[in-house]
Amino acid sequence: MQFTSQHKKAIKAIAASTVKITVAGIFIGYFHQYDLIIAIVLALYTMSTFYRKVFKPETTNWLLFWGMILTGALGVIAENLGVTYQYWEYHDLSDNRTLPYWLFFAWMLAFRIVYDLESKLMTLLHIKKAIPKAIVAILVTAIFPAFGEVVTIYLGVWTYSWPYQIFGVPLYAIICLVMLHM
């Protein structure tokens, strides 16, 4: 198979998203004891994203904005349920909290990475039909957020108690990530 320039750009987009997820996971992993500082950094980055991608007249993208807000809110609700029912637990939190401060922003920014990659792949690979779009979306939402979780799990941020784990991420969690990010 010969790679076209579009295929090369798609591979570059996948590599860039992989780097973003990895850097975010390492940042959260190494500094998870300082979750308020992580929250501030991620909040600032979120505001920067809104300024650059949503609120500038030439780049207004309300789908990205509402997708980030909705994913952040639903993500925090899901996290609260998961911790409440002891499906997972966060480590090194102060003040007897069960959820870190940065959680809302991490969910929002994960949506942004997934959304950007899906958009680029659909455009670069000229995917226009519904079923191929759905397949790409499912693959991206199953792989990238789960990969980010692997990084943070191995750096001690949280632990799952659900069975059937792949590199520390349960199959249930991967299914939930797909449903939430879609």
- As a whole number, mean pLDDT of residues 57-79 equals 91
Q: Facing residues of 88 across strands?
A: 160
Nearest to 180 by CA among 147, 138, 148, 151: 138
Model confidence at 1: pLDDT above 80: no
Model confidence at 105: pLDDT above 90: yes
Average pLDDT, rounded, for the chain: 91
Taking the whole predicted model, whether its pTM rises above 0.85 is answered as: yes
Give the C-alpha separation, 81 to 163, whole Å. 17
Query: Are residues 175 and 181 in contact, defined by beta-carbon separation less than 8 angstroms?
Result: no
Residue with tokens 């609260």: 80
pLDDT digit string, tens, across residues 112-146: 999 999 999 999 988 889 999 999 999 999 899 99
Other C-beta atoms within 10 Å of 12: how many? 12
User: pLDDT tier at 2 (50, 70, 90 boundaries)?
Assistant: low
pLDDT at 174: 86
Model confidence at 54: pLDDT above 90: no
Model confidence at 59: pLDDT above 80: no
Query: Are residues 64 and 112 in contact, defined by beta-carbon separation less than 8 angstroms?
Result: yes
User: pLDDT tier at 17 (50, 70, 90 boundaries)?
Assistant: very high
Model confidence at 16: pLDDT above 90: yes
